[in-house]
Structure formats: C-alpha cells, structure tokens
Structure 1
C-alpha cells in the first residue's frame, strides 16, 4: 500500500473538529428521539388511567386530609355533598366548545367553594358561562342554595405558562385554575390540592354548564421522535458527503 500523502493527512486532520461536533449533535438528536419514545409510553399510560377513572362507578369519596396527593389523585371520579358558597365564586377566563363546530365560546369557568360537613371546603369548577352571564344576577337559576351533591373528576392546579397573564385577585381576574391562589384570595384556609370538575348533571339545562372536561389528550410523541431521528439521519448524510468531498476532491491548483 502506498504511503499517505501530506495532502491526505491534512484532509483527515481537517475532519477531526467537524466530526466531533457532528457526533455531539448526533448524540443530542438521538437522545431527544429516545426521550420522545419514552414520553409516548408515559402519555399512553396517563390516557389509559384517565379513561379508566372517568368511568369509575360508583364515584368514590374524596381522599381524607393527610392522604392528599395531587398527582396520584388527579382524574379520580368522586362524589361529595356540601353547600356552595356562591358569594365566594371565582370566574376564570376560558373557552368552551360552541354549538357550531369549529367555533369556541368565550367566557368564564365558575369556580365555587363547597363547604362540607364531613371535611374541609373544596373548590368546584361548576362549569362554563358565556361572557354576557358574568353577573350572577343574570343567572339566578344557576345559583344552587342549600345542601347539594356534586359528582365529577379531580383536577390539580393548572400551571401558568409564560403566555398566560398573572392573576389580579383585587379585580377578580384569573386566567388559570390556581387552587392555592383562589383559596387564599377568599380566605378559605387549607383546601385539598385539587378541585372537582363537575359533570353535566350538576346544573342540567342551565348555566354554568358542567361536563366540560376533555380526556382526549394529544399524543404526538411518536411524530416528534421520527422528526428527531430524521434530522439525525440528515446530519449523518450531510457529514458523509462533506467528508467524501474533503478526502477525494482534488485541491485547487497552486496560484488559483
């Protein structure tokens, strides 16, 4: 075999830095793809758990104080009895499906404390109202007085993302279901770390309209994984072409 020429040696050395950079990028891309595959399995398990709990019959009792676990208890179907404190309701900005497909209604979710004889007060998301029914006087038929029974699913606090405005308790402006913040604003003391999403039987035919919880969570992790793996394959192809040209194409003529 012939000795490697100085030009070829320089070509090989010139591939070290781009090769290392490409290997680091390739490891990151493959790691992201594998992570999305793992997230896909976690999301499928979560969806299966939600669907199973959504059809639990009969609904269970609210977990006792001292056993509260927002993550473990979330989406559990429960039935509780108590009295709504309508004077302490909180309206949270939100959207709900309208009667016309593809069009959403703008309005509020009505979150009302439910005082119970056999345990601490718990917040209940009674359902959705359109913007024009913000004033309780315009929906007196929906103000339930006296002891009542509520059936629904437990939901944990909704995290506030960077695009969601901060709440203004003094003005009654809320943009996410901040359970601890709402409880503190109304002086409710210690409450469970979740609220009850009331089902459609809470106020049949009136406002607020319950049963707004959707359990069809998006699961696009496989698509994301293919995207990362595809980018990794493109990186390998681009580097292979670059290396081949670096090693096989003749250098420019002297003086050019």
Structure 2
C-alpha cells in the first residue's frame, strides 16, 4: 500500500520555513522599535510646537513690559518674589544717591564696541540697588576720565529691571579678588563692595544722556532665540521619512510572500499532474 505523499515544506525539502503570517522575534522587535521611534519623533515635534507657543507668549509679555509706562521699582517686601518670568525687563524708576566710590566695571561687548558696563550702587530710602549706568570704552575706564557723569546729589533713574547674572560669562568666571567681572552678579558684587540690604536685581539705565556723554545707557538688547518652528519641522520630517521607509519595508515581504505562494501553487499542481 502506497503512502500519500507528504505535503508542505518537508515535501519540497524546505524544513524550517516560517509559517506564513508569523513574525520572528527579531522582526517583531524591529517593528516595535520602528513604531516607537516614529512616535518619539512625533512627540518631539509636538513639544517644539508647544515650546514655540510658549516663546511667542513670553516675547509678547516682555515687549509689553519694556514699552509700558515706568513704575516704582519693587521695595524690600517684594524682593523675595521677584522672578525672571514675571518681572524681567519691566520698566521701573528709582530715586536715591549714587555711591560712586563703589562702582564696578563689568566687561562688555556692545554695538559700540568692547568696553565695560559701569555698575554703581544707588542708595535709596529702602535699601541699595545696583544700577547698570551704561557703557564706557576702555579709555574711559577710570572714573577720573568721566567725572561729569558721576553725580553726587539725588537722582532719579529710569530703566529696565534685570535679573542677576551669577557666576560669570561664557567660559570665564568672575574674579572678585582680582576685580575682574564678566557678568552682573548682584550678590557677588554686593559682597565685594561691602554692601548690605541690596535688591536681588539690578536696573539697566535707559538712554537718557549723562553729563559728559558717559556712561552710555539704553544699550539693553532684548532678544529671544525662537527656532522652535524649525526644530518642529525637522522632527516631523524625520518622523515622516522613518514612517515611509518602514511602510515600504513592510510591503516588500508581502510581495515576496505572494511570489512564494504562487510558486507553491505551481508546485502543487505539478505534483498532482505527476500523480494523475
């Protein structure tokens, strides 16, 4: 009695062929990683869109503060609540007397060239506030070269409230002992100059001319980088490219499987013809 011919992969001498429609663990892991990567890229794109909305709102708020009518600078009771998000670049006025003998020169690069910010304590009725009176070139570094611009009596200053810049500048740290300053670090300057009761912020003086022409105020640069749209488009483009590449790769095995199924059908037909 003849046995029926074996069917399937063994008949064609192809042991170990994966059952049609089944995914090997490695292939499944690749698909999971692909889907996760596309999802992450899309999430990064959405995050950048949200960041852009936040940045545009911040720019709008700062612009409104900087161009509003000036208000009296916050007093000591409000100092603990001062923060960058709500208060920086607010237009304020302060009145008092400059302590010219305790000024600090902070290295600066401005549209007028390299030089120094002249940061001078202003003694007020409520305490002391540091005022960035403006820019002087290197040849005006010494106070004796700009005596006309150092008033002795009571003054009223209008300018922008700024948050302290602790530490120093890019790759350079403040050196109080050597009197080398690269940022307007309120706390460190206060300690170095023996000041107490100092506000945790400083004020950038406006462009009102000083006697003798120096320091030059009103050089505050208000600029916020806003590249979030570019970043969002980059992430979305990468997600689209990765999704397209993955879908193309997924369609290829289907075409291969279709060709293999056609070959299997043809083989079966030949086997049936041989038995008939």
What range describes the TM-score normalised by the shorter chain of this pair? 0.7 to 0.9
Among candidates 27, 33, 36, match of residue 15 of structure 1 = 27
Aligned to 1:109, the other structure's residue is in SS state: strand
- Correspondence for 1:179: 186
* 1:66 corresponds to 2:77: yes
Q: Relative to structure 1, is the Cα distance of residues 246 and 107 closer, same or farther in structure 2, using a 3 angstrom cutoff?
A: farther
Residues 182 and 151 of structure 1, relative CA distance in 2, 3 Å threshold = same
- Cα distance in 1 for residues equivalent to 2:223 and 2:34: 39
Shift of residue 76, structure 1, vs aligned partner:
1.4
Unaligned runs of 5+ in 2: 1-16, 258-276
Looking at structure 2, the residues matched to 249 and 161 of structure 1 have their Cα atoms a distance apart, in angstroms, of: 64
CA distance in 1, matches of 2:54, 2:128: 33
> Which residue among 116, 119, 134 is the counterpart of 1:111?
119
Equivalenced residues, count: 240
Structure 2 vs 1, CA of residues 236 and 204 (structure 1 numbering), >3 Å: closer, same or farther?
A: farther
Q: Which residue of 2 aligns with 1:152?
A: 159
**Structure 1, residues 23-79: CA drift from partner, whole Å, max 9, x if none?**
33333322222222222122222211222122222x211112122212322221111
Q: Tell me, yes or no, if structure 1 residue 75 matches structure 2 residue 82.
A: no
TM-score, normalising length: structure 2: 0.77
Q: Report 1:1-256 matches (<5 A).
A: 6=18, 13-57=25-69, 59-68=70-79, 69-71=82-84, 72-98=86-112, 105-116=113-124, 118-158=125-165, 163-201=170-208, 203=210, 206-245=213-252, 248=255
Distance 1:20-1:73 versus aligned 2 partners, 3 A rule: same
Cα distance change of structure 1 residues 123 and 202 upon mapping to structure 2, 3 Å threshold? farther
| Cα deviations by residue, 1:91-114 (Å, 9 ceiling, x for unpaired) | 22221113xxxxxx1111111111
Which consecutive residues of structure 1, in runs of 5 or more, have no partner in the other structure? 99-104, 251-256
Alpha carbons of structure 1 residues 205 and 44: separation in structure 2 relative to 1, 3 Å: farther
Higher relative contact order (CA 8 A, sep 6+): 1
Contact 1:126-1:208 within 8 A present in 2 as well: yes
SS of 2:240's equivalent in the other structure is helix
* CA pair 61-233 structure 1, distance change in 2 beyond 3 A: same
Q: Distance in 1 between matches of 2:120 and 2:101?
A: 8
Rg comparison, structure with higher value: 2
SS at match of 1:81: strand
